[in-house]
Chains A and B, each alone.
Chain A
Amino acid sequence: GDSVTQMEGPVTLSEEAFLTINCTYTATGYPSLFWYVQYPGEGLQLLLKATKADDKGSNKGFEATYRKETTSFHLEKGSVQVSDSAVYFCALSPRQGAQKLVFGQGTRLTINP
């Protein structure tokens, strides 16, 4: 079945460091790919998405490129801030629509000042 694998956490960085959180997926067909973020004590929020191969999603300085050849959707940010501390979830939708969103296990990110 469809699945999403994220890099093991937790990840701890210093402010202004470069961030990469790896995400790979297994799916039949052409899924849509997402990154959701969960700030402490809150529900998940959509951070960015990409719906077809080579699309780049971006938001709040974060970027991720849909790589079909490597089945990956790695999250990157050039200079992280303390306020980026959160849990990040990679997810896929096997087809257009939210009905069967499949999540990875989440990666906890802590940014130290």
Chain B
Amino acid sequence: EAQVTQNPRYLITVTGKKLTVTCSQNMNHEYMSWYRQDPGLGLRQIYYSMNVEVTDKGDVPEGYKVSRKEKRNFPLILESPSPNQTSLYFCASARLTGAEKLFFGSGTQLSVL
């Protein structure tokens, strides 16, 4: 089954404790992206990647890191989480050429205390 898998689904942590949210897709998509969803603000793009070893900032990259060492995986790293990073996070992937359809994971609800 074609899917984007995120883990964990829920995460509660404390300020400053490094964490990683994993994302994996099995569709051989070149493009992957991370979004955060906040009430009243819709989805905002954090980082995206056009292919292995190619990443770029989205609209709200501060406080986040990503890596794309393999085509299928695109982890989101919070080196020193802060309470304003409490949010619902989504990973998405798509074909690169002529791609307009994003495939989304089920989301990770992060709470930073």
Chain A residues with a Cβ under 8 A of chain B: 4, 32, 34, 36, 41-46, 49, 51, 89, 93, 96-101, 103-106
Closest-CB distance, B68 to chain A (whole angstroms)? 14
28 A-B residue contacts at CB 8 Å?
A32-B100, A41-B106, A42-B106, A42-B107, A43-B4, A43-B106, A44-B43, A44-B90, A44-B104, A46-B101, A89-B42, A93-B100, A96-B100, A97-B96, A97-B97, A97-B98, A97-B100, A98-B99, A99-B48, A103-B35, A103-B42, A103-B43, A103-B44, A104-B42, A105-B40, A105-B41, A106-B37, A106-B42
Are the CB atoms of A101 and B41 closer together than 8 Å?
no
Are the CB atoms of B90 and A99 closer together than 8 Å?
no
Are the CB atoms of B45 and A101 closer together than 8 Å?
yes
Q: Tell me which of B4, B50, B96, B100 contacts A49 (CB under 8 A).
A: B100
A84 to B44, CA, bound (A): 24
Residues of B with C-beta under 8 A to A106: 37, 42-43
Task: With A43-B92, A97-B98 given, name 19 new contacts (CB 8 A).
Answer: A36-B102, A43-B4, A43-B105, A44-B43, A44-B104, A51-B100, A93-B100, A96-B98, A96-B100, A97-B97, A97-B99, A98-B31, A98-B92, A98-B94, A98-B102, A99-B33, A101-B102, A104-B42, A105-B40
Query: Which A residue sits closest to B6, measured CB to CB?
Result: A43
Number of interchain pairs (Cβ within 8 Å): 61
Residues of B with C-beta under 8 A to A98: 31, 33, 92, 94, 99-102
Closest-CB distance, B56 to chain A (whole angstroms)? 9
Residues of A with C-beta under 8 A to B101: 46, 49, 98
A49 to B100, CA, bound (A): 9
Query: Which B residue sits closest to A96, measured CB to CB?
Result: B98
Residues of A with C-beta under 8 A to B90: 43-44
Are the CB atoms of A99 and B107 closer together than 8 Å?
no
